[in-house]
Copies of this chain bind each other. A is one copy, B any other.
Amino acid sequence: MSSISRRNFVKMSVAGAGMLALSGLDTQAALNQKEVKFDEEFDVVIVGSGFAGLAAAISAAKRGKNVLVVEKMGRVGGNSVINGGQIAVHNNDLQKRDGIKDSKELFVKDILSAGKVNHPSLVNVLVDRDMDTFKFAIENGAKFSDKLYFAGGHSVARSYHTENESGSGIIQPFANVIKDMPNAQIRTRTKFDKFIIDESGKIIGVAIRENYKFDAKLFHDDTQNLEGDKKFIKVKNGVILASGGFSNDKIFRQVQNPAIVPTTDSTNHPGSSAGAMIEGFKLGAMPILVGQILYSHVKCPDEKGNGIGSPFASGCFTYGMSVNAKTGKRYVNELASRRIVSEAMFNVIGSDENYPIHIMDSDGAAMLKDGVLERTMQSGIVKKFDTLEALAKNYKIEVQPFLNEVERYNSFVKSGKDDDFKKPIEITKDITITKPPFYAMRGTPKLHSTMGGLTINEKAQVLGFDNKPIDGLYAAGEVTGGVWGLSRLGNIGTLSCLAFGMIAGENI
């Protein structure tokens, strides 16, 4: 039953135009029947050129569809091309070679343990199709090394790594495959704006802008950037939204959490915005978990994006401490969950960018992996001090309260009990903050990934409020929610973007 369906909404929302004939909920508004003047026609339009978008493009094009991929940025690949390039696959050849027992059930369990409210139907499809997806990547030119990786949150080692240890090891060959296809093309600097629908509510096209130029200086790309030449594309089969998350959408992300101020950085490419997802909501797509944002809490505000500071921050959390520069005091159990530490840091940072200071001494620094200290000091994000006083002065921390706090922390390490924040102090291996030189870095959480978005089903069809597919609308990757639940298990990001992109292309 869906008499009061999305389609009827569409008819009725335009009622100002023609409500005369609208005598009941099932009756169509008498819409103006003039035709759109379309500039071009494709079977399938795909919005976004990351893992999901390119997988969808290849998969649809191999079925003979005439495919256009629109990418608003100047380069192909979105966040995928700056992704680490690891992909989890259960019962894979490396596991067999290394004698590691895995199963569908175990992989599903790991995913659900992280995500908690994942849609089981989507997780099932993901795990059922993981090997297909991996083979699809290889068939289309991706190359993986022969080392098996054990990623956090997984019960067993089950991840491959691309040969070049980057998502570009998948994006680049995919883009080359598409370049060689007569019936598929990618247009960069081309922005999706709006859906065009007919009077029955079916998507019949999209409004786009070519020669678009992303402008990082604008506050809000989707509502302020007017660049480009308008074009209307007729679409025969439908549209696949693969436009990614909204980690750099300064409006939408701060509505979800006011602690995310405009200066808060993310690990994403600068164009990660909510625009395309929002057009989906307007079309009647059901929003899911839109407020759920994953942070990386080991980042540094003195470098852009992902950066290289994470291992140093993690080192301080284990073998040192983090203080509020204004008070000189600790503010959290540095080893609490990513969410709790991020929240505490946001409180410290406030609206005046009072970034916490992460600190360790030479014994702590000796625990870092080779090269970490050298690289981070060379880049300038980590600084070395002969005395704690010098460290405090550099970061404008009041000296005496800070020295007292270091003393207090050291006493916790010695007594084996953190009376202030219950950090599991045994993990510090008795390393206090005593031995010069001392090392420090400013810290911050950065937005890493957005868990919510458009609701999809097992065929990557976008669902309307009646839980039924919206005709002609598909989505895959970070613009969707449900596969990942509240928190995405590591190394299933790449897998799920590729898998649901491929699936969207198979079904559209």
* Residues of chain B within 8 A of A343, CB atoms compared: 116
How many Å lie between the Cα of A84 and that of B496 in the bound state? 46
With A284-B282, A287-B287 in contact, is A17–B2 under 8 Å at CB?
no
Nearest-neighbour CB distance to chain B for A254, whole angstroms, equals 9
Q: Is A259 part of the binding interface, using a Cβ–Cβ cutoff of 8 Å?
A: yes
Nearest-neighbour CB distance to chain B for A213, whole angstroms, equals 15
The reply to whether B207 and A255 form a contact with Cβ atoms under 8 Å apart is no
Chain B: CB-nearest residue to A482: B255
The reply to whether B256 and A117 form a contact with Cβ atoms under 8 Å apart is yes
Contact with B along A468-508 (1 / 0, CB 8 A): 00000000000000100010000000000000000000000
How many Å lie between the Cα of A205 and that of B19 in the bound state? 11
Q: Is A198 part of the binding interface, using a Cβ–Cβ cutoff of 8 Å?
A: yes
Q: Is A216 part of the binding interface, using a Cβ–Cβ cutoff of 8 Å?
A: no
Chain B: CB-nearest residue to A452: B291
How many Å lie between the Cα of A259 and that of B485 in the bound state? 12
Contact with B along A25-59 (1 / 0, CB 8 A): 10000111111110000000000000000000000
Chain B: CB-nearest residue to A259: B117
Partner of A9, one of B2, B25, B34, B279: B279
Q: Is A278 part of the binding interface, using a Cβ–Cβ cutoff of 8 Å?
A: yes
Partner of A226, one of B25, B33, B226, B278: B25
* Residues of chain B within 8 A of A452, CB atoms compared: 290-291
With A16-B31, A16-B199, A194-B15 in contact, is A288–B256 under 8 Å at CB?
yes
* Residues of chain B within 8 A of A292, CB atoms compared: 291
With A117-B256, A256-B288 in contact, is A18–B1 under 8 Å at CB?
no
- Which stretch from A217-225, A312-320, A374-382, A391-399 is at the chain B interface? A217-225
The reply to whether B19 and A36 form a contact with Cβ atoms under 8 Å apart is yes
A residues in contact (CB < 8 Å) with B:
1-5, 8-10, 12-20, 22-25, 30-37, 116-120, 193-199, 204-205, 207, 220, 222-224, 226, 230, 232, 251-252, 255-259, 274-275, 278-279, 281-284, 286-292, 343, 452, 455, 463, 465-467, 482, 486
The reply to whether B279 and A16 form a contact with Cβ atoms under 8 Å apart is no
Top 3 A-B pairs, shortest CB-CB distance:
A19-B36, A289-B291, A17-B31
CB pairs A–B below 8 angstroms (10 shown): A13-B195, A13-B282, A13-B283, A17-B32, A23-B230, A120-B258, A222-B465, A251-B466, A282-B284, A290-B290
Other contacts beyond A4-B193, A20-B37: 20, CB < 8 A: A4-B222, A12-B193, A15-B194, A15-B196, A15-B205, A15-B207, A16-B204, A17-B32, A19-B34, A20-B35, A30-B32, A117-B257, A120-B258, A223-B465, A251-B286, A278-B465, A281-B282, A281-B287, A288-B290, A290-B291
With A14-B31, A282-B9 in contact, is A119–B193 under 8 Å at CB?
no
How many Å lie between the Cα of A5 and that of B284 in the bound state? 17
Chain B: CB-nearest residue to A197: B16
The reply to whether A13 and B119 form a contact with Cβ atoms under 8 Å apart is no
The reply to whether A15 and B291 form a contact with Cβ atoms under 8 Å apart is no
* Residues of chain B within 8 A of A226, CB atoms compared: 3-4, 25
Chain B: CB-nearest residue to A2: B223
Nearest-neighbour CB distance to chain B for A231, whole angstroms, equals 11
